Structure formats: C-alpha cells, structure tokens
Structure 1
Amino acid sequence: MAESIHKDQKTVSFDKCISSSSSRCSFMAIVIFLIFLSYFLYSFSFISVLKSPSKVSNSLLVPVMQVQLGSGQNHTEDKTELNHIVFGIAAFSKLWKHRREYVKTWWKPNGEMKGAVWLDKPTVNDSLSSALPEIRISSDTSSFKYRYRRGHRSAIRITRIVSDTVRMLKGTESERNVRWIVMGDDDTVFFPENLVRVLRKYDHKQFYYIGAPSESHLQNLQQFSYGMAYGGGGFAISYPLAKTLEKMQDRCIESYSDLYGSDDRIHACMAELGVPLTREVGFHQFDVYGNLLGLLSVHPQAPIVSIHHLDVVEPIFPKVDRVKAVERLMISAKLDSASLVQQSICYDRTNQWTMSISWGYTVQITRTYMPARMMEVPTRTFSDWHKRHDFNNLAFNTRPITYTDCQRPRVFYMSRTLGDSSSSTTVTEYLRHNELNPNCEWGIPDPSDINRIFVHKESNPDRWNKAPRRDCCRLLPATKKGTMMIKVAPCENDEIAAYSDK
C-alpha cells in the first residue's frame, strides 16, 4: 500500500510539472543551461591560453617563472670568492720592516689575493718580496686641514686609502672582478677564508659598510661611536659604495677637519651617504691590554675575521714571540678555519671537572661544575684600553678568572696538529702551560696531573651556512696516563651541555 502510494505521488508530481508549464520549471531549465554554457566557454578559453602563452596574465606567470629561474640558476657565479676582494693596508715606513711579518702570516702570494700596502714614503726592496702585497705610496694630503690638537694628520692619508685603491683599480682588467674593498692596518691579521664567508652573506651590488665597534665602551661612547667600524679591526665596503665614496670623500674630509682618526672620517662620510654600519662581530679591534686568552677562548658564535693591536697585547701563545704565535694559530686555521677558536663545553663526571675547548687554541679544565652560561663569559685576563681594571668600561660581560684558588683553570695551549688539511678528521694536541697552581683542599683531583690533551674533530667548513650553535665535546678513553682524549662534534638535536652525576 505505501509503495504504490509513493509511486503514484512521484508520477502525479512529474506530470503536473510538465502539464502545467510553470514559470518555476522554466527558470530551472534556464539556470542549468547557463551553467553548462559557462563551463564550456571557460574550458575552451583555458585550452586556448595553454596553446598561446603570450595571453597568460602576468599574475599567473610570475610565480611559475620565479620557481624555474631559482632552480636553474648557476649559484657558483654569484658566490663571492677571495679574488673578488681587494685589500687596502695602511702602513708606516718606519714600522713596516717589523709589521710586514704580520702581513706575511695571512697574505696569500702569487696572485691568489689582491691589494696593496699604502706607505707614507718609499722603503728599500719591499716591492721585490713575492710574499707581500704590492707597495704603493699614498697620494699627497698636505693641502687638507687637520685641526684635532692631540692627533696626527696621517689620519687623512689613511682615510684616503679607500679612494686611492679605487683610483688604482679604475680602468684596469682587475676592476671588472672587484666586489669588495677591505681596509686594515699593518698590525691587523685577517683570516681570509672567514672573511669570504662573512661577505658572501651580502649583495655586493648594494651599498654595504661592514665592520664592528670597539670592545671599549668609553671609546665608543665618548670619543667615537657605536655606529663606526674601527679601522684596525678592519672593515669592508662594497665596491659600488667605494666608488661613490671616492667621488665625495675629499669634500667630506674638508668638512670634518676636527675629527681625530681615519675611521671616524669614513664614518662621517657614510653618515652623509646614509649608509649605516652592518655589524659583524668577527672583526676585532681589541682595544685592550694584556692577555687575549679570556677573549679568544670564548669567541662569539661567528667566524673570526681579524685580530688587531698585536703589538699591544701579549703573544697569543706563551713562550714565543708575537709573529710565531700568529703563525701557530694559522696552522689551525688551515685545517678548519670555520671552527677556529669556537668554544665547546663538556664535563668529566668522574673527576668533577668542567672543560672548555676553544678549538685550535686552548683547552681549559676547571675543578667542580661550572654552568654553560658562566663558561661562555670571557674571563678577565686583560685590562681596558685605559689600562684600568674597571670592567664597566667594556662593551660586554666579563667574569673573574677564578672565584677561589681551587677554581683556577688549568690551561692547555695548542702545540701541533696531526694529519694534514686533505683529511676530513683533524687531531690537535694541547700541552699544559706551566704556571703557579695554588694548593686546594677540596678533595677533587687536580687537573695538573694531565699533561697533554688530544682533540679529535671532523672539519666543518659549512657550519656557518646553518643556524649558529656550539659544538659538543665528549670524553674518549685515554690511552696513556697523564693524557686526555676529547672528541668535538656537532651536537645532536636534544644534546645539552649540563652536568649530571648520574
């Protein structure tokens, strides 16, 4: 009964719609026809567009073209290399015989690096040395005013080295390949591979002024500026900016005759050009006196680019002269320049020791647990630029060398490397520095019983292409009494540097 009624209802309803020719049914038919027609026309238009790409709108084409260009681009051509950089080194003839030995430690001869040493007057036979850049004599600056009472007008000569270098390059074949002008002093040591790593981050076609302020808060705050790149620590200027600076620098120098140095004149001209300082913490002015151990053993997590004031501070390694000390550091730089003086922190639970490795430079062992947040703060092995031990005058945090005699660290300096640069695994040896070790009644074993430490590490040239993070270190089984073996390697995702007695 219910089924027959349902069929009858459907039949009656359908017949009614046909027989009645109602406006409602006509409207529905028209809507269906229009939808079908629109779909047909859209499909035909889309097929036609595919056959004729020129009709595609720009809004559709841009994303597709960008992806194709990005995937097919030859990135090798865009990568900055050492031969794209030209160095301008400021020097004095009376100091050059001594300071040229610093330049020899980092300069790559036989055309591998480009640049010139700019002297105030000629010296004997320097131009014949193949281990040094070519020697140039700075242009005459006697017509410029210099009104700073306690300064020296040689600052004008040095600040014009940028312009002199640009004029030296103009119209030459080398100019086509220039991307950066890098300034430094004759007592500045550069780490060229790390300099290249830093400059690769920036578009050399844009206006860039790259460097770092002083470590001295008073220097930055009172006499100079936190926005100024200090010339001793070195700075880089993109070549388009250097050419623009050359056009206006002489007028700019005349406008700032009352300034003290060469680098603050560069800064003043940059301010007129509207170009701010791009800070890179690997450029080191080192406006300090004393021992650089506290600074270099906890270097910022960034590639070390330069070291300045080598005639002012103590030798980087003890018991050798300053040049020999730099040469030893360069041995580590040749093995793994990207990791040079990068810190790792780990713990020996058995002996209750805290260990800090500054790869290629030092290993330090301290009795008892020292948290990572403390170990990454520089120790006060130096005084400020005014030869005072007022550490409020510095632009960074510091901590005492030791809080008790028992916590005085035992320092092991890099002595030699085992293997060569062709191997991916590096082994560096560190020997204990003999110094006064006060008695300690803590009952914790004395790290002085360790005489040498071997650090095993995989070279990691691409470390700065990733987010910065300290490497981790782990103790390895010792093979001889008085010897420690440590492995340094990238941390696992969940690995931490924290003490545990479990």
Structure 2
Amino acid sequence: MKPQGAMKDFESLLCLCNIKTTTLFKLIISFIIFLSFSYVFNSINLTSFSIQSLEKSLRNSSSIFVQNPTEKSAGNFQTYPIIPQEKTQLRHIVFGIASSSKLWKHRKEYIKLWWKPEEMRGFVWLDKPVKRSTDDKQCLPSVKISSSTSKFKYKNSIGDRSAIRMSRIVSETVRLGLDDVRWIVLGDDDTFFFAENLVRVLSKYDHNQFYYIGKSSETHRQNIHFSYNMAYGGAGFAISYPLAKTLAKMQDRCLHRYPKLYGLDDRIQACMAELGVPLTVEMGFHQLDIYGDAFGLLAAHPIAPLLSLHHLDVIEPIFPNTGRIQSLRRLKMPMKLDSAGLMQQSICYNSVKNWTISVSWGYATQIFRGIVPAREMEIPLRTFANWYRMHNEVGFSMKTRPLSTNACRRPFVYLLSNAIYNRATNRTASEYVKIQNRNSECNWKETVNPSHVWRVEVYKMREPNLWDKPPRRNCCRVLPSTKEGTIAVDVGECREGEIIEL
C-alpha cells in the first residue's frame, strides 16, 4: 500500500511540477518579451532625444538646420540655407585719429587726402576745441575732445603726458556705443591710410576674435627700446571690436601700472600683454622711423598691400621737386585705378640689352645695367638713414643694401607722371619719366647704356582680388616699342611656368 500510495503522491507531485514548470516557462518568455519591448522603446526614445539634442546643438551653432517654428512636435524641423556673413566693409571700421589743437591746422591737410566723408566712420581726438571751417566739417571726421587724464601719473622724462590721453582713444570710442563695428583703427594725424587695402587685409581675419594687428619700426634700436611685439601707433594698427571692448574694461587700471612708458602705442601693448594677445604683423603698415629719401624702401615694397605711410613731416616728399601734399596727391592717381597693386614690385630682364628692370607700380621704375638677381632686387636700397640718423645696415630692422658709388651699378630712376584706366580692356597704362642721373658715366661694354631711355610705359591688368590669393610677386615682360627713348613693360600675374629669371 505504501509503495502504491507513494507512487500516487509522486505522480501528483510530478503533475504539479509540470504545471509550475509550464508557468515558469511562460513567465520567462514574458520577461524576455518585456525586456525586448523595453529595449526597443528606450532606443526609440534615445534616438528621439539624440535628434532633439542634435537639433538644439545645430540651432545654437547657427547650423544650416533650423527648426520650423510652426512645427511643434519633436524632430520636425526643416532645412534653411544660411546667409553668409557679409565681408568686412569700410563702414565696419571706426578710425580713431590722434591729434592736438597745436598741430591741427597743419596736419588736417594730410587727413583730407585720404578721408572719405560719405564712406568712413571715425573721429579726430583733440585735447581742446579748435575752430573748424565749413570745408573742415565737410571733408574731415567729426572732432571729439578727450576726457581728462589728470588722475594718471606720467613719469617719462622725455615724453609727453598727452600719450595717456591718446592711448584711451580705444576705450572712449567703445563707450560711444556705435553700431555694427568690427574694427577700431588708430593712427596719427600725419598718417596717410590706404583705406581699400586696409579693408582687404582686415577681411582676412575673424573680427569676432581677439586681434591686435600692426607692425614694428624700421629702426632696430627703436624696437629694442620699445618692443618688437608692439604695433607702432604712427603706422596705425587695428584692434578687433571684441578685444577693444575687453580692453576698455581694464585699460584705466592698466594705465596706472605703467606711468614710466613713453607713448600711446607702448601703453596699448603693455595692456595687450596683460590680456595675453600677441601682435599679428601686417607688412603694409609703415611707421617710417627714418630720415631722408624713402625711395629705396618704397621701390622694394614687400609682397603685401600698402596700408599706411607715417612721418610725412619727417621724410622727404616721396616725389622730389614737389611738396609733401602734392606728392601724396600724385600717388592718389594710381591708387584710385588699382589700389591693390599700388607700389607692388615686379622684376624682369632685357636679355638683349643686358638690363634688369624693376617696376614699383604706380610709383617708380628702375633700370640697372647687368643682371641683378631677384633676391637682391627685393632688398631696399639704403637711400635713407634710420631714426638715429645712422646709415649703417645694422641700424635697420630689415635687410638693406648700399647705394653703390660705382656709376655703372647705380640705377636709372623713372618716377610716375601719369596713369589712366581703360574700362573696355580692364587695363591700366602708366607713364614714368626719368629723373636727373648725376652718375651716368660708365665704361661697361657688356651692356647697352640706358641713358637714352627717358620714358617707361607700364601696362597692367587691374586686379582688385589680388590679395584674395596666396601672395606672389607679379611678373613683368619687356615689350617691343618703336617710340624713341621709350621702353614698354607688361606687368601681371605670372603665367604658368613663368619665373623671374634671365
């Protein structure tokens, strides 16, 4: 009986186990299905969240994906093309010109030469009010009177405390609250700015970032005394507006720390050092810390757009036998035709006559006897002395070469006399006339004497987008000419495979 009862108990237990096993199996299957649905659901939510996050990120970063405000459900967004930000224009620049009531009557004539009242924004900052004629008001920037700097100490024994006032032009310009400003450009009242080229250069940089753009001095000792990291104020320099606003917040505190500095530019540089912003060098700014004739420097201009000329009261007129104002007026003629190419040097050779020809477009041409390598031709002739009135080559911050005493090695110089533009061909024609050459006697027999050439004609394609490309020196080619005493030269971009060689 027991075994039989035990068997029945076992069968009952087995039956119960089968029931529980089936239930357990069903529970396991249900749990697996639940996990699967949960995974799929969470994946869908994660994807939706990722899309929303991506959409938000793209929207915040001004991406091409912008949510349609009429769509309220998540993930429903449309694509709109981004409108490219406008390139920097002249109206985005505000000029701050440092001047004084004492020099205003004379220096304002320089400003009139380059200022464009209808296109430019800016102010002349003076120490006190001056009388302004109707012509002044129409042809010059508005005048602002700098605020008092009596609270600042000035301990430089050879300088002038007006440097403090002038260094604060940046801060005072920011406080005017002008709209749509990208750059503040500072310069002196005896600085000539080439505005179109300035726009070309500043367009290369992101004005939303911190930029301090300018150039050091041509005199080595000046840079040692001040800093190679300093943009010289006379040559002019540019500060991006976000940097200018940051400088304005701390400049007065910064100025209190530097009472022994000399000028406005080293005070600005000291504050830039505290902000951690280095100098970005643009070779077209010219402090011209030199004396004498700047011809050698300008005739071998670096491969960079011409941006400014300073110390116009110190250097000799850039065209001899004329006044300083008249010289600059003559330079404005080619500037209006092709500002991008102004003073750009080209080098070519006349193999038949064994000549080297250099063209500084819109300014001067030179003919050298013999073949002079391009690497030598691009070095400025030392027609000038440095700021400490020394002519030795170690006094300059760039390499120079001496003006030879050998008559055979001295160039024949031709200066701009006229320039015209042909709209139909988009080409300019400029004329350069020989100046007196006192050392024309030469007994070289290997070269033809250029003394019979009294006129050089230069033909050039107008290239307003020249500086949108990587910098390269233009090439020039000697053209056949039947005019007596005249040679003709074509200047333009180097053709494929063309290099500067004989």
The match for 1:145 among 125, 128, 153 is 153
Give the residue type in structure 2 aligned to 1:103: I
* Map of 1:124 onto structure 2: 131
Distance of aligned partners of 1:59 and 1:422 in 2 relative to their CA distance in 1, 3 Å threshold: same
Cα shift readout 1:194-242 (whole Å, capped 9, x = no counterpart): 1001111111111111111111111111x20001110000000111111
The match for 1:199 among 202, 205, 218 is 202
Cα shift readout 1:46-97 (whole Å, capped 9, x = no counterpart): xx99xx998769899999x99968995433x331000000000001212111
The match for 1:89 among 77, 97, 104 is 97
Contact 1:301 1:470 in 2 (8 A): yes
Distance of aligned partners of 1:480 and 1:332 in 2 relative to their CA distance in 1, 3 Å threshold: same
* Map of 2:389 onto structure 1: 387
Matches of 2:171 and 2:52, distance apart in 1: 48
Contact 1:334 1:421 in 2 (8 A): no
Give the residue type in structure 1 aligned to 2:287: Q
Contact 2:167 2:268 in 1 (8 A): yes
Matches of 1:452 and 1:95, distance apart in 2: 40
State whether structure 2 residue 61 is matched by structure 1 residue 74: no
Q: Report how far residue 418 of structure 1 moved.
A: 2.2
Q: Report how far residue 189 of structure 1 moved.
A: 0.5
**Identical counterparts, % of pairs:** 54
Q: Report how far residue 438 of structure 1 moved.
A: 3.4
Map 1:221-300 onto structure 2 (within 5 A).
221=224, 223-300=225-302
Give the residue type in structure 1 aligned to 2:470: A
* Map of 2:321 onto structure 1: 319
Matches of 1:434 and 1:445, distance apart in 2: 19
Structure of greater Rg: 2
Map 1:35-114 onto structure 2 (within 5 A).
72-75=81-84, 77-110=85-118, 112-114=119-121
* Map of 1:479 onto structure 2: 482
* Map of 1:402 onto structure 2: 404
Distance of aligned partners of 1:423 and 1:337 in 2 relative to their CA distance in 1, 3 Å threshold: farther
Distance of aligned partners of 1:366 and 1:86 in 2 relative to their CA distance in 1, 3 Å threshold: same
Listed as ranges, the gaps of 5+ residues in structure 2 are 1-39, 66-78
State whether structure 2 residue 162 is matched by structure 1 residue 160: no
Cα shift readout 1:403-446 (whole Å, capped 9, x = no counterpart): 62101100000111123678621001111111313310112322
* Map of 2:458 onto structure 1: 455
Contact 2:415 2:435 in 1 (8 A): yes
State whether structure 2 residue 219 is matched by structure 1 residue 216: yes
Matches of 1:198 and 1:422, distance apart in 2: 28
* Map of 2:192 onto structure 1: 189
Matches of 2:432 and 2:233, distance apart in 1: 33
State whether structure 2 residue 138 is matched by structure 1 residue 135: no
Q: Report how far residue 161 of structure 1 moved.
A: 1.1
Cα shift readout 1:454-491 (whole Å, capped 9, x = no counterpart): 10000111111111111111111113100111110110
Contact 1:297 1:378 in 2 (8 A): yes
Match of 1:241, SS state, is helix
Give the residue type in structure 1 aligned to 2:349: Y
Matches of 1:265 and 1:421, distance apart in 2: 48
TM-score scaled by structure 1? 0.83
Q: Report how far residue 124 of structure 1 moved.
A: 1.3
Cα shift readout 1:11-55 (whole Å, capped 9, x = no counterpart): xxxxxxxxxxxxxxxxxxxxxxxxxxxxxxxxxx9xx99xx9987
Q: Report how far residue 121 of structure 1 moved.
A: 1.5
Give the residue type in structure 2 aligned to 1:210: I
The Cα RMSD (Å) is: 2.5
Give the residue type in structure 2 aligned to 1:274: G
Match of 1:355, SS state, is strand
Matches of 1:133 and 1:423, distance apart in 2: 37
Contact 1:384 1:391 in 2 (8 A): no
Matches of 1:66 and 1:87, distance apart in 2: 31
Contact 2:337 2:421 in 1 (8 A): no
Matches of 2:56 and 2:468, distance apart in 1: 31
Matches of 1:71 and 1:56, distance apart in 2: 17
Distance of aligned partners of 1:60 and 1:240 in 2 relative to their CA distance in 1, 3 Å threshold: closer
Equivalent pairs, count: 442
Matches of 1:311 and 1:361, distance apart in 2: 19
Matches of 2:422 and 2:102, distance apart in 1: 38
* Map of 1:16 onto structure 2: none
Distance of aligned partners of 1:495 and 1:71 in 2 relative to their CA distance in 1, 3 Å threshold: farther
Matches of 2:264 and 2:423, distance apart in 1: 39
Contact 1:82 1:192 in 2 (8 A): yes
Distance of aligned partners of 1:62 and 1:244 in 2 relative to their CA distance in 1, 3 Å threshold: closer
* Map of 1:437 onto structure 2: 439
TM-score scaled by structure 2? 0.83
Matches of 1:311 and 1:247, distance apart in 2: 35
Listed as ranges, the gaps of 5+ residues in structure 1 are 1-44
Matches of 1:421 and 1:154, distance apart in 2: 48
Cα shift readout 1:243-302 (whole Å, capped 9, x = no counterpart): 111121111111101111111000111111111111111111111111111111111111
Matches of 2:56 and 2:107, distance apart in 1: 59
Matches of 2:96 and 2:486, distance apart in 1: 46
Contact 2:284 2:307 in 1 (8 A): yes
Match of 1:294, SS state, is helix
Match of 2:106, SS state, is helix
Match of 1:163, SS state, is helix
Contact 2:63 2:82 in 1 (8 A): no
Q: Report how far residue 163 of structure 1 moved.
A: 1.4
Distance of aligned partners of 1:214 and 1:247 in 2 relative to their CA distance in 1, 3 Å threshold: same
Match of 2:102, SS state, is helix
Q: Report how far residue 149 of structure 1 moved.
A: 1.2
Matches of 1:402 and 1:155, distance apart in 2: 41
* Map of 2:500 onto structure 1: 497
Contact 1:377 1:397 in 2 (8 A): yes
